[in-house]
Structures are given as C-alpha cells and as structure tokens.
C-alpha cells in the first residue's frame, strides 16, 4: 500500500466515457480472477449480514434481553448468554469471511497489477517503431508507474468498499423501512442533503483539482527542463531570473493546491456533521411519534432506528471519500487501455529462415545448425516449397517513403547491393540516410516501390526472420543492464562464453573489457553509463558480430570520439564488414573511400552514385563535400 505518491492526474483532458472504462476494467480483472471476484462478493455479503446480525442484537439487547431481566425478581441470564453465544458465532463468521475476502483481494490486486504490467509490456513489444518515435518516452513510462498505481488503490480498496457499502446501505435501508417508514423518509431526506453537499463540494474541488494538475504539470516541466540545463544556467548567470520564474509557477501551484485540498478536506466533516443533524432530527421526530403513539413505534425501536441511522450514514460517507481515487483510477485505466489498444506491427510474411544443407546439389532443410541458411518460400498458389539460399542481395526499386503520408522523405530510390558489397551513404542531415536503413529491416513500411532481399519481396518475409538476418549498429548505442557478457550475448542468446570472447576480439573490444574491474562479468547499468562512448560502440559491434548476419547496417558515430579510439572502432567495424553486404551511413573518409558504391543523398533523392574515384571526377556534390568547399545553400 505505497501511498498515493506523486500522482500525476490527467495529462490533458477528462475521461471520455467513465462507465465504459469501468466496465472494461472490471472485465479485465474478471478475466483472470472471475472466480475470485465472485467468492469475494459472496464473502462480503456474508460478512455484512453477519455484521447486521450483530447490530440487530445490540438493537434488541435492551428490549428483548435486558428489559425482561429488570422485570423479574430472579433474573435469568440464560437467554442473554445464549444470544451472546449466537452473535459470537455470527461475528466469528463475519471476521473469517472479512479476512478471507481481504486476503483474496490482495492476490486479485497484486495479480491484476502484474497482469496489467505484463500485458502492457508484451503488447508494447509488438508495437511498431513508429509508436516509440511518435510518443514521448515520459508518457509511456507514466503509464507503467502513475497509471498503474492508481489502479492499486481502486481495486484493493475502492471496489470492495463500494460493494460493501452498497450491501450495507441496502440491508440497513430495509431494516429501517421495517422499523418505521416516516423516520426512513426523514433519513432519506437528510441523505439527499448529504449527497447534494458532497456533489457541490466535489464539483468545486474537481475544478481546482484540474487546475492543480495543470499547475503541477507546469512546475514539473519547468523543473525538468531547468535541472537538465542547470550547467548552462550557471554559465549564463541566469539564476536570478530562474528563481523569479519558479516562484511565480510555484505560487500558482500553491494557490490551486491549497483550494483543492481544502475542499477535499471538508467533505468528511460536512458529511459527518450532517449525519449528526440527521440523527437529531430523527430523534425528535421519532420521540414525538413514539410518545404520541401514532405509528406504534416503541422506544426500543426508536433506539434501534437511531443506530441504523448512524450505520446508514457511515457507508455513504465512506463512498464519498473513495470518489476521488475512483476518478483518478478511471483516468489511469483509460490511458492503460489506450496503450493496450494500439495496433501492433502488421506482419503478413510467410517466408521463413531455415537451416539448410546441400544434398546432391539441392538444398534440404535441416533441423540442426549447419551454418548455411535459406529462405523457405512456400508458394501460396500450389503450396510448393522453394529454398533460396540466404546471400544478402538487396535491391531497392523505385522506393517512395514518408513517415506520414503528407510528407514524402524518400523519392524513387533505386539501389543494388550484391552479396559482400559495401554501400556507403553520404549527405546532409535530413537527406534520408537513416531512413533508408529503417526500411530494409521494415521498422517502417514503404509507400511505393519494392525492396527485394535475395530476390524475395521483403513484405513476404516474416519480420522476425528478416531481422534475424540483418545486423545493425546504431549511432546511439543502447546497452542493457547486465554484465558485459550478457550484453554481447544479446546478439545470440545461446552463445558460449568462448564465442562471446571471440566476438569481442573481432570487434577490438576484448582489450578494454579485460581492463574492467570484473572483466566480462562487469555489470553495466544505466545504458552503460560507466563506459566511454567508444567503448559502448565496441560492445555494440561485438553484439552484432556474434549474431553473424549476412547483411549489416552500420551508422558510424559522429565526432564525439577522439581519433585514436575511432581508429580502433573503425578497425573493429572493418573486420565485421568483411564478407558481408554492408550499408554504412558514413562520416569518415576511410569508410567511404573503399566502398563499392557511394550514394550521395540530397533531400530524399540519390543525386550521385559511383565509386570514390568516379564521383571525384564528376566534380559534383560529392566533390564539394570531399574537398570541404561546399557552398552552403
């Protein structure tokens, strides 16, 4: 029960359809815990009824048990003892069932939270790269933390509380009706007043709450931005201005938070005191009725009724206090479901990657690892199966692409890479270099044209198999929490320690790894924060090396590495490229020089292509870039 920490309420608007969200949430919980919920409901019913038995006993205590004792000269305590024993049994049942349902609810709550997280995560893994490119990572994270947290309170406390209260209200209401209809009406009127007051206050407070969330968002945003740029703030002596601006935002937050909290705080006392007023009014009306004898109300009955009056007000008060957490949970659940509803990556590929061996000059599928791979192409028309050896032959034919339909980033791109060739892309930022690499492995799908891989349209290849055949080393290296060994092994999960070391050696990473405190067992945290940029890159190369793919996509690091480290990285990359079809987004002269083909990209078009010498002779854009005499346009 880790309190309501750091709640961040609606990022933006209100919930569209709380009823629908609520229904869906219940359905979601019931999917795995349906039986649990039914048992819990039954147990709540039992515990409430047992409690009512207890209350009834107290009501009758005076009239039925104590009053007779007072009348007789030799008081017989046996009936009272019997009654107490009976009630004790009811209470025992009540306690046991209350404990049991609360105990079950823990499993339901924690289990549901676990399922929510697991479902979110496994669904998130199926989402296209586009989703991650178009949603802020902060918002995605907040779904896991803040939104999931709101469900905890809601499921573990609000749900049983509301159900419990509902049953209590109904059963107490019936008992009240039986005792006295006019007094019940009086109570109902008072309850209506209470509800009205709650609504009024809640309405007011929700307005301030929204304002508070907005102000909080602004304060948090400002803090995040300034803490990130604190060193720049120092360098520019901007501290005073910062403090002034912060004070302004902070004061706004204080004012709205003050009002919102104030209104939330008074709901309790208002309802409690209205409950007391209700009690007095009932006592007076009941007293008049009982004394005048009009409705046949006995004094004992009046006393009972007054107790019921109290137990009727209590659940209403409790539910009104849960109101806030329910609203928050609905907002959280809405965002959780929204993420679960995101459309996963489509994959209609049916061509798969299999191990093959050659028998009598023909490729045969083989269950064991043979080191040779082929595309298993089952033709949809006649179900005949072809095997095409995996070579790394990539062809782009008239490819058009845009991240959204309005803005086309690549126009009519044509390129051919024969197995083992090295293709380099050069050009300015935004010319579309990175985009091309996003297309080969189908992080994004093209709008027009065709990409063929070993003669097969990439759309026909199952994405997992397609990607397994492509190695990728990105400019921003991402490492995972775990040992160096684990990180390299990421490329091939069943690799032996020897294979890992071999891959590290190939990537020139072995040298620095051995110098780390625990060598290959050194634990990396925070995306490899304890390593230098160059070292991280070497690990990424080793990771690609162990996967041993026929086609490589490399994005060279920009200038933040010094020349010496760069040479080591470069050497590692060169060794990795040997014998593989490679696409390089090149920044370095040496890489470009020995490429089989250089593509010069400008505004999404390939404007020049050829070898280094050919392009120099053309004296075009490449020549300008190369000689450093480019004229800024």
Partner 1 sequence: MIKVLAAQIREFKKESILTPVFMILEVIFETLIPFLMASIIDDGVEAGNMRHIYMVGGLMIVMALAGLYCGIMGGKYGARASTGFARNLRQAMFENIQTFSFSNLDKFSTAGLVTRLTTDVTNIQMAYQMLLRMCFRAPISMICAMAMAFFINARLASVYLIAVLLLAIVLAFLIRRAMKYFQMAFPKYDELNASVQENVSAIRVVKAYVREDYETGKFKKASQGIYDIFLKAEKNVVLNMPVMQFTVYSCILLISWIGAKLIVQDMLKTGELMSLLTYCMNILMNLMMISMIFVMMSMSMASAKRVSEVLCEKSDLTNPDNPVCEVANGDIEFRDVDFSYYGDKDKAVLHDINLKIKSGETIGIIGGTGSAKTSLVNLISRLYDVTSGSVLVGGRDVREYDMESLRNQVSVALQKNVLFSGTILDNLRWGNENADEEECRRACRLACADEFIEKLPQGYNTYIEQGGANVSGGQKQRLCIARALLKKPKILVLDDSTSAVDTATDARIRKAFAQEIPDTTKLIIAQRISSVEHADRIIVMDDGCINGFGTHEELLENNEIYREVYESQTGGGGDFDEKAGEE
Q: How far is CA 91 from CA 62, 95, 98, in A?
A: 19, 6, 10
Contact residue for partner 1 among 472, 500, 569, 597 (CB under 8 A): 472
Find, among 509, 529, 527, the residue nearest to 519 by Cα.
509
CB of 537 to partner 1, least distance (A): 12
Burial class (CB in 10 A: 0-12, 13-18, 19+), 17: exposed
Contacts of residue 70, defined as CB under 8 A and 6 or more positions apart, other chains included, come to none
Check if the beta carbon of residue 190 is closer than 8 Å to that of residue 281: yes
261 binds partner 1 (CB under 8 A): yes
CA distances (Å), 128 to each of 77, 178, 410, 464, in order? 77, 63, 20, 13
Among residues 17, 185, 480, 614, the one that binds partner 1 under rule CB under 8 A: 480
Please state, in angstroms and rounded to a whole number, the distance separating the CA atoms of residues 457 and 73: 104
**Contact set for partner 1, span 307-326 (CB under 8 A):** 307
Considering only 200, 225, 350, 594, the residue that binds partner 1 (CB under 8 A) is: 225
3-class DSSP assignment, residue 524: strand
Q: Binding mask 125-164 vs partner 1 (x if CB under 8 A, - otherwise)?
A: xx--x--x----x--xx--xx-------------------
Give, in degrees to the nearest 5, the angle at Cα 273 between 44 and 57. 40
Distance CA 296, CA 276 (A): 25
Q: Please list the residues that pair with 416 across neighbouring strands.
A: 395
C-alpha separations of 294 from 106, 461, 550 in Å:
51, 88, 98
- Cα–Cα distance measured from residue 367 to residue 68, given in angstroms and rounded to the nearest whole number: 90
Cβ atoms of 350 and 368 closer than 8 Å: no
Q: Which of 321, 352, 533, 611 binds partner 1 (CB under 8 A)?
A: 533
Q: Which of 11, 117, 372, 505 binds partner 1 (CB under 8 A)?
A: 117
- For the segment 556-585, give every residue that binds partner 1 (CB under 8 A): 558-565, 567
468 binds partner 1 (CB under 8 A): yes
Kindly tell me which residue out of 43, 52, 94, 599 binds partner 1, with binding defined by CB under 8 A. 94
- Residue 89 in contact with partner 1, rule: CB under 8 A: no
- Work out whether 195 is an interface residue with partner 1 (CB under 8 A): no
Among 117-125, 164-172, 180-188, 331-339, the segment contacting partner 1 (CB under 8 A): 117-125
- The single residue among 203, 268, 398, 511 that binds partner 1, judged by CB under 8 A, is 268
Is there binding between residue 247 and partner 1 (CB under 8 A)?
Answer: yes
Question: Is 114 among the residues that bind partner 1 (CB under 8 A)?
Answer: yes
Query: Which residue, 20 or 482, is less far from partner 1 as judged by CB?
Result: 482
Query: Among 171-179, 276-284, 388-396, 511-519, which window interacts with partner 1 (CB under 8 A)?
Result: 276-284
Number of residues engaging partner 1 in binding (CB under 8 A):
164
Binding mask of the shown chain, residues 361 to 400, with x at each position contacting partner 1 by CB under 8 A: ----------------------------------------
Collapsing DSSP to helix, strand or coil, 342 comes out as: coil
Between 178 and 284, whose beta carbon lies closer to partner 1? 284
- Dihedral sign computed on CA atoms, order 587, 589, 592, 598: positive
> Does residue 511 bind partner 1 (CB under 8 A)?
no
457: Cβ contacts below 8 Å, ≥ 6 apart: 450, 451
Residues 445-464 that bind partner 1 (CB under 8 A): 463-464
Of 513 and 598, the one with the shorter C-beta distance to partner 1 is 598
């Amino acid at each position: 029960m880790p309190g309501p920490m750091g709640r961040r309420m609606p990022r933006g608007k209100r919930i569209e359809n709380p009823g629908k969200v609520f229904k869906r949430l219940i359905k979601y919980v019931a999917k795995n815990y349906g039986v649990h919920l039914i048992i819990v409901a039954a147990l709540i019913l039992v515990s409430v009824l047992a409690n009512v038995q207890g209350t009834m006993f107290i009501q009758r205590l005076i009239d039925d048990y104590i009053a007779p004792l007072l009348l007789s000269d030799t008081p017989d305590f046996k009936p009272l003892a019997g009654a107490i024993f009976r009630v004790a049994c009811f209470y025992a049942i009540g306690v046991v069932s209350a404990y049991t349902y609360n105990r079950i609810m823990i499993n339901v709550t924690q289990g549901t939270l676990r399922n929510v997280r697991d479902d979110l995560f496994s669904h998130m893994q199926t989402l296209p790269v586009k989703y991650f490119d178009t949603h802020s990572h902060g918002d995605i994270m907040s779904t896991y933390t803040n939104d999931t947290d709101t469900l905890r309170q809601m499921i573990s406390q609000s749900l049983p509380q509301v159900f419990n209260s509902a049953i209590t209200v109904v059963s107490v209401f019936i008992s009240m009706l039986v005792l006295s209809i006019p007094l019940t009406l009086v109570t109902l009127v008072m309850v209506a007043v209470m509800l009205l007051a709650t609504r009024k206050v809640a309405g007011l407070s929700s307005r301030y709450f929204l304002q508070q969330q907005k102000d909080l968002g602004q304060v948090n945003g400002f803090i995040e931005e300034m803490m990130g740029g604190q060193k720049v703030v120092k360098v520019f002596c901007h501290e005073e201005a910062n403090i002034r601006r912060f004070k302004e935002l902070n004061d706004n937050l204080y004012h709205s938070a003050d009002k919102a909290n104030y209104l939330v705080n008074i709901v309790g006392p208002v309802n409690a005191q209205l409950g007391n007023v209700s009690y007095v009014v009932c006592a007076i009306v009941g007293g008049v009725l009982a004394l005048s004898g009009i409705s046949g109300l006995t004094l004992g009955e009046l006393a009972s009724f007054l107790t019921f009056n109290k137990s009727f007000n209590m659940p209403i008060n409790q539910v009104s206090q849960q109101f806030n957490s329910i609203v928050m949970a609905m907002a959280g659940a809405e965002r959780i479901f929204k993420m679960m509803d995101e459309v996963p990556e489509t994959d209609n590929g049916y061509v798969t990657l299999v191990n093959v061996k050659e028998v009598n000059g023909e490729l045969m599928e083989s269950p064991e690892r043979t080191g040779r791979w082929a595309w298993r192409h089952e033709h949809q028309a006649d179900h005949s199966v072809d095997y095409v050896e995996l070579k790394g032959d990539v062809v782009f034919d008239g490819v058009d692409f845009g991240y959204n339909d309005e803005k086309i980033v690549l126009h009519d791109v044509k390129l051919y890479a024969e197995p083992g060739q090295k293709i380099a892309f050069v050009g300015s930022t935004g010319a579309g270099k990175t985009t091309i690499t996003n297309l080969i492995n189908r992080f994004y799908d093209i709008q027009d044209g065709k990409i063929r891989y070993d003669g097969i349209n990439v759309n026909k290849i199952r994405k997992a198999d397609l990607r397994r055949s492509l190695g990728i080393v990105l400019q921003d290296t991402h490492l995972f929490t775990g040992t160096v060994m684990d990180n390299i092994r990421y490329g091939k999960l069943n690799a032996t320690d020897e294979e890992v070391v071999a891959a590290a050696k190939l990537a020139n990473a072995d040298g620095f790894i051995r110098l780390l405190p625990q060598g290959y067992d050194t634990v990396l945290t925070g995306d490899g924060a304890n390593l230098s940029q160059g070292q991280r890159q070497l690990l990424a190369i080793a990771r690609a090396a162990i996967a041993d793919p026929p086609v490589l996509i490399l994005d060279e690091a920009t200038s933040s590495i010094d020349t010496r480290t760069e040479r080591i990285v470069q050497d590692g990359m060169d060794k990795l490229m040997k014998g593989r079809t490679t696409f390089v987004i090149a920044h370095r002269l040496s890489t470009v020089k020995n490429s089989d083909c250089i593509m010069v990209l400008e505004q999404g078009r390939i404007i020049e292509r050829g070898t280094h010498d050919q392009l120099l002779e053309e004296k075009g854009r490449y020549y300008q870039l190369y000689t450093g005499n480019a004229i800024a346009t």
